[in-house]
Structure 1
Amino acid sequence: MARLTRTFVDGLGRRDRTFIEWDDDLPGFGVRVTTTGAKSWVVQYRAAGGGRGAPTRRMTLGTLATLTSEKARGGAKDILATVRLGGDPANDIAKGREAPTIKELAPKFLRADAKVGRKASTLALYSLYFKVHILPAIGSKRAKDVTDAEIRKLHRQIGIDAGKPSTANRVVATLSGFFAWGTKAREIDRTDNPARTVDLFRETSRERYLTTEELARLGAALREAETVGLPHLVDETKSTAKHARKPENRRTIIDPHSAAAIRLLILTGARLREILHLLWTNVDLERGMLFLDDSKTGRKPIVLNAPAVQILSALSRVGQFVIAGRSAGTEEEAPRTDLHRPWRAITKRADLQGLRIHDLRHTHASVGAGAGVGLPIIGAILGHADAATTAKYAHLANDPVRRASERIGGDNAAAMGEAPPPPPDSNVVVPMVRVRQ
């Protein structure tokens, strides 16, 4: 034994068998020499605070090419100090290598029973985020080693590089839920949540409310689509135009169930899946009610107004679902998944490009707010679980603030000789003046 200086170690030659030369000054620190002459620094200790019964651990610190003798000695001292405090660095590294990756844990997180109360639609969205965004970027990383910097990088790639800030925010929220679940279920050995420190992008509101004139155009296009059909526009300058149908045959008629679905969305303010997954057993025409077994906010009743009752009464019952799909009436009947094709055709005809189906729900609420229906009632109609969700329609309400503004503006315009004053309104808010005693 001797002090392991670089000069001494360089002088060690290879032997018939691999051997370790131990340092004379620092017990447990040594250099291993293989039969080929390759040399590497090692540290050896007894776990669990030492003792004859404790298991022996040996760790490789690095090769002579990567570590000087002094750096290797310093690293060995740090490890041995950790051992004296009850640590077991070698075992910790071994456990780290066995720690599951995000890809290995994802199937457990995405099980339907992983979290009570999670909707099937939410689960499908989470699965999509993992498949498209999360797994390709950090799926091979051990969950316990993922850093907030890596999640920020993914967030920027989706939000800035791909131009999808809303999706980027949803992906981070999904990862936050993943780490919260993993630590609580003891599947991930960490105490922090790296997704919670990520600053989300500011999202602009996408709510759109149809005007009376736009609703009229939508209704006209809907009636045309279900009767004579919507015309196909053919570019006669293209060579393929000669193969197109004759002008009188260039029309597409949408089926009555698609038309009924769109009308019910407008008239009830229901969510798309609440209408597409609606069963005839959920419909009570006598009481004018829909009783949904499961919606985004749980069990939910929907009041049917007279126009909605009329639509449902006239609709043919093909299968168990109100909005019949291709599999209606068969043993493998399933609800329709979307209304993409008829919706695109109708909105194009009505010159309402960019209008989303969900905007019909916003329009339903906006009409109610403008008519003076209170926000709590609108929230009840839409099935909002949180009053804050309904509050976004407050600026549309015909409330005292709006009426007061109309009165003041009208008086000012009349004083300028540009408009007559508004008629007296007992509901106008009049400020009270304090009288000095």
Structure 2
Amino acid sequence: MKIKLTQSVVNNYQIPDHITARQLELVDDGGTGLYLLVTQTGFKTFYLRYRSSANGGKSTHVKLGRATDITLAQARDKVKKLRAEIALGDDPQTKIKKQRNEITYGEFMKEYYFPHINSRIRSAKTYRQMFDTQIAKAFGDIKVNQITKRQVHAFHNDLRSKGLKNGTCNRYLQLIKSSINFGISMEIISIRNPAVGIPLFEEISRERYLDPDELARLLPVLIKDDSQIAKIIRYLLATGLRLGECLNCEWKHINIDKKVMMIPSARSKSKKAASIPLNDAAIQVLEECDKSTVYPFINLNTGKPYVMIKKSFQKLMKQAELEGVTAHVLRHTAASMMINAGRSLYDVQKVLRHSSSIVTEKYSHLSQQSVMDASDTISEQLFKAASGNQG
């Protein structure tokens, strides 16, 4: 979108609600190639677009800096200097490609990969912690094009020897693989991915969910407690929402009369807008919330959405004498209740918005039990008929 960029625009612009794209380019109308890339989550970065002789005359982008780090005036100064270099035949891409051949894995992660995922992946902070605690020690100072498959394989095995669970070890391997794949796809690095082809450790999937007895202990505790956290837990159970979707939901996205809640693309794990049906249990919780605030489940102390609820969450679980329960267990519980009520895996996939049926199939053992129970009703009727008991 072409616009006259001003510092005020840079500071205050937000993507309108009706635009579902993950990011938007605000092109400066000065014709210099300067533009501001704005994401749905509010990140803003200055870029220069130009035709690169080093890249076969193709349209090329050079990152100038984040709007939090440089001003519009500084970005324009950078554009003038770069355009002067380009006019003299000194293409910035030539320097960039030379630098990329020398880049270490640590530099690549900090300069390219983390800025890329910060506005796209909700677990970006976790990935950064994983890198800082384990990966940086092993590969941070090694040039990316010098990392070998043998080294990555040894690193994967070494994590397990340190006592990490198979699933955790696999997450580290997958982070290395996905980050390097990103670098290859964006032409930041040019190598064969050394993490490809390394087998994952076998993982035993044990989905935790609350059984009827546990629910019978938990619900009275929640209903008796008038706190925001208790309401959040009840809403999670009723809707099967992810925790972040619940904590950040806004009244403007909820229609109680139509019994529906909208999740904007910026708040959705899949980055796609979604419509969530609201059942009577969910409506009951919402009716107990303050409608004069922006958020139904607002933190009464800060006036903003909760960031962490773990401590208060576990306090309520302890009152109900429950162990090993997290917010995601509540999502599994919502799925198990649907399956045990006879709903299909397809129905569960749609309600929970799983990206693939493969994700939903982890509940198939519950579905099989429902099928078995249905089959047992046939045999009961046959046995009754055979014994002459029609009652």
Structure 2: stretches of 5+ with no match in the other structure: 1-97, 387-391
1:134-170 CA distance string (max 9 Å, x none):
1122100110011122212222233331323222111
Instruction: Report if aligned partners of 1:209, 1:359 keep a CA contact under 8 Å in 2.
Output: yes
Which residue in 1 is equivalent to 2:221?
221
| Residue type of the alignment partner of 1:363 | T
Q: CA-to-partner distance for each residue in 1:200-243, whole Å, 9 max, x for gaps?
A: 111121311211111011112324444xxxxxxxxxxxxxxxxx
Aligned partner letter, 1:310: Q
1:179 paired with 2:150, answer: no
Whether the 8 Å contact between 1:318 and 1:324 is mirrored in structure 2 is no
Decide whether aligned partners of structure 1 residues 159 and 421 sit closer, same or farther in structure 2, where only a CA change above 3 A counts.
farther
Kept in 2: contact 1:209–1:363 (CA 8 A) = yes
Could you tell me which residue of structure 2 aligns to residue 143 of structure 1? 144
Q: Deviations over 1:28-87 (max 9, x none)?
A: xxxxxxxxxxxxxxxxxxxxxxxxxxxxxxxxxxxxxxxxxxxxxxxxxxxxxxxxxxxx
CA separation of 1:201 and 1:118: change in aligned 2, threshold 3 A: farther
1:208 is matched with: 208
Point out the structure with max Rg over C-alpha: 1
Distance (whole Å) between structure 2 residues aligned to residue 127 and residue 286 of structure 1: 42
- The answer to whether the Cα contact below 8 Å between 1:318 and 1:328 also exists between their aligned partners in 2 is no
Aligned residues of 1:278 and 1:292 also touching (Cα < 8 A)? yes
Give 1 or 2: higher helix fraction: 2
Within a 5 Å distance, the mapping from 1:110-149 to structure 2 comes to: 110-112=113-115, 114=116, 119-149=120-150
Q: What is the match of residue 165 of structure 1?
A: 166
How far off its partner does 1:400 sit? 4.3
For 1:80-118, what per-residue CA distance to the aligned partner results, in whole angstroms no more than 9, with x for missing partners?
xxxxxxxxxxxxxxx799611011111233344x37x97
d(CA) in 1 for partners of 2:152, 2:138: 9
Matching residue of 2:228: 257
Q: 1:303 aligns with which of 277, 286, 290?
A: 277
- Return the letter of the residue paired with 1:172: L
What is the match of residue 341 of structure 1? 311
Residues in 2 aligned to 1:98 and 1:189: alpha-carbon distance in whole angstroms: 8
Q: Which residue of 1 aligns with 2:12?
A: none
Query: Secondary structure of the equivalent of 2:363?
Result: helix
Task: Pick the aligned partner of 2:109 from 106, 109, 124.
Answer: 106
CA contact (8 A) 2:101 2:189 kept: no
Kept in 2: contact 1:407–1:422 (CA 8 A): no
CA shift, 1:423, in A, is: 7.4
**Which residue, out of 283, 286, 295, partners 2:257?**
286
Percent identity of equivalent pairs: 27
Task: Give the ranges of 4+ consecutive aligned residues of structure 1 lying more than 4 Å apart after TM superposition.
Answer: 95-98, 398-402, 405-408, 420-424
Greater relative contact order, per chain length (Cα 8 Å cut-off, separation 6+): 2
Q: 1:312 to 1:207 in 2, by over 3 A?
A: same
Match of 1:386 among 356, 373, 376: 356
Given the two structures, how large is their TM-score scaled by the length of structure 1? 0.60
* 2:114–2:128 CA contact under 8 A, matched in 1: no
Does the 8 Å CA contact 2:250/2:295 hold for their aligned counterparts? Answer: yes
1:268 aligns with 2:271: no
Give the corresponding residue for 1:359: 329
Measure how far apart 1:328 and its partner are. Answer: 4.2
- Where does residue 253 of structure 1 map in the other structure? none
Tell me what 2:343 maps to.
373
What amino acid does structure 2 have at the position aligned with 1:126?
Answer: Y
Listed one character per residue, the Cα deviations across residues 338-362 of structure 1 (whole Å, up to 9, x for unaligned) are: 2201211111121211122211111
Q: Counterpart of 1:378 in structure 2: which amino acid? A: V
Structure 2 CA distance for partners of 1:314 and 1:292, relative to 1, 3 Å: same
Which residue identity lines up with residue 323 of structure 1 in the other structure? F
Show the counterpart of 1:199.
199
Cα distance, 1:343–1:319 mapped onto 2, change above 3 Å? same
